[in-house]
Amino acid sequence: MIRAYKFLLRPTKGQAAALTDMLRDHCSLYNGALQERRDAYRHVSKTSIKYGDQSAQLKEIRAFDPECQGRWSFSSQQATLRRLDRAFAAFFRRVKDGQAPGYPRFKGIGHFDTVNFPKDGDRCRWDSTPHDPQTRVRLQGVGHIRVHQHRPVRGRVKTISVKREGRRWYVILSCDEVPQEPLATTGSVVGIDMGTVHFFTDSGGVHVENPGFLDTMADELTAAQAHLSMFPKRTRCRTKKHRAAARKVAKIHAKIRRQRLDHHHKTALALVREHDVIGHEKLNTAGMTRKPAPRPDPGQPGGFLPNGAAAKAGLNRSILDAGWGLFLGVLADKAESAGRRVIPMNARNTSRTCPPAAGGCGHIAEENRVTQAKFKCVKCGFVENADTVGALNILDRAGLVLCDVA
């Protein structure tokens, strides 16, 4: 298997300054390469520049600017150019598919936070001091940086990435040949129905509460954002006070993100330990959180009719705070590592179908869903919690898939 390990870095003051310089110089390289591609295409010849052309110029660039570009890893600079090449490849793919293309943009130093090292070499090495009980990673131009390694690394390290999140620095290891750690079979199969009031409900009727980390921090976040908005747009020249206000907002968002991810890991691990097969809804969260289309008022040119945007905004906020997509991704990874099976199922009418698995008649009707929380079949009178009904129907569909495979 391929797995990623993320560890907190403990750089010294000088190393932190060097890491910041590294991001700045790689950002400059990225923007310069993007400008070269733009200028070449705007030329009358409409020259097309590829990754190979720009990578071949690195030797000259490093020789011309040894104080900035020449001090960093050659492989990491190639990775930055590949990053730009992937952005252009995605742009042309979207154009070809008729989607919103989104031309690659120049990166500000505050939005360029990651540098990749494609191999454990080129003066970049994981566990660079093996005889020292303290783990360190060596980066060219920075030195040996202390790592807070909270768990063992398995497999073979393929790539090393350094990422800045606020004032914290992290190292991310991408490893292949990671062995599985299968768990003992339990013989249990479960279906889960994702929600906003409850994070999810399983087919046994157990509700896992939604922690609502964003709502918990809402007052503090609102105050921080209000303070940040006090700075007029014309004077937002990255002054000291504005930077401090922006850091406070980013710090709160980072805390919410860490809390959410920690909750997802612990909840997914509990599911994987208890069940051999887990069925869940196949959700399109991007489509579910899309803004409603405006409704022009035919009787008033330039006017619009109510379209429920305010109510939809609240629902979108709850869905994004729950982080369904992130949780299901974590669940799939943990299940693969433990030798479990996760089956995504079509969620259509799962909460409107009278569940045959619980003695229902299988009748499908919109009227079966009495309220958001109550289900009552209009044909046979079966009554149950609506989320539990959805989980039961998902379990039933997952069982049919298992029978077909068998």
How does DSSP assign 88-111, residue by residue? HHHHHHHHHHTS------PPPGGG
Query: Are the beta carbons of 31 and 105 closer than 8 angstroms?
Result: no
Three-state secondary structure call for residue 207: strand
136-139 and 143-148: which strand pairing? antiparallel
For the entire predicted model, the pTM comes to 0.85
Sorted by sequence, the CB contacts under 8 Å of residue 6 that are 6+ apart come out as 170, 171, 172, 173
Query: Are the beta carbons of 304 and 295 closer than 8 angstroms?
Result: yes
Three-state secondary structure call for residue 346: coil
pLDDT in tens, 240-256: 888 889 889 999 999 99
Interatomic CA distance for residues 359 and 187, integer angstroms:
22
Whether residue 47 has pLDDT greater than 90: no
The pLDDT confidence band at residue 404, using thresholds 50, 70 and 90, is low
pLDDT in tens, 255-302: 999 999 999 999 999 999 999 999 999 988 888 888 888 888 888 888
Interatomic CA distance for residues 383 and 297, integer angstroms:
42
pLDDT in tens, 178-209: 998 899 999 899 999 998 889 999 998 899 99
Interatomic CA distance for residues 51 and 54, integer angstroms:
5
Interatomic CA distance for residues 76 and 80, integer angstroms:
6
The count of other CB atoms within 10 Å of the CB of residue 83 is 19
pLDDT > 90: percent of the chain: 59
Write 70-73 long-range contacts (CB < 8 A, 24+). Answer: 71/25, 71/140, 71/141, 72/22, 72/25, 72/26, 72/140, 72/141, 73/117, 73/122, 73/123, 73/124, 73/139, 73/140, 73/141
Amino acid identity, position 292? P
The pLDDT confidence band at residue 175, using thresholds 50, 70 and 90, is very high
The pLDDT confidence band at residue 120, using thresholds 50, 70 and 90, is low
Q: Lowest mean pLDDT of 75-79, 115-119, 333-337, name the range.
A: 115-119
Determine the average pLDDT of the residues in 64-87: 93
Query: Are the beta carbons of 188 and 275 closer than 8 angstroms?
Result: yes
Whether residue 322 has pLDDT greater than 80: yes
Amino acid identity, position 246? A
Which two structure tokens, joined as six digits, stand for 322? 């729950």
In the prediction, which pLDDT does 236 show?
A: 53
The pLDDT confidence band at residue 43, using thresholds 50, 70 and 90, is confident
Sorted by sequence, the CB contacts under 8 Å of residue 63 that are 6+ apart come out as 70
Beta strands, E only, 236-358: 277-281, 295-296, 304-305, 341-345
Determine the average pLDDT of the residues in 220-241: 81
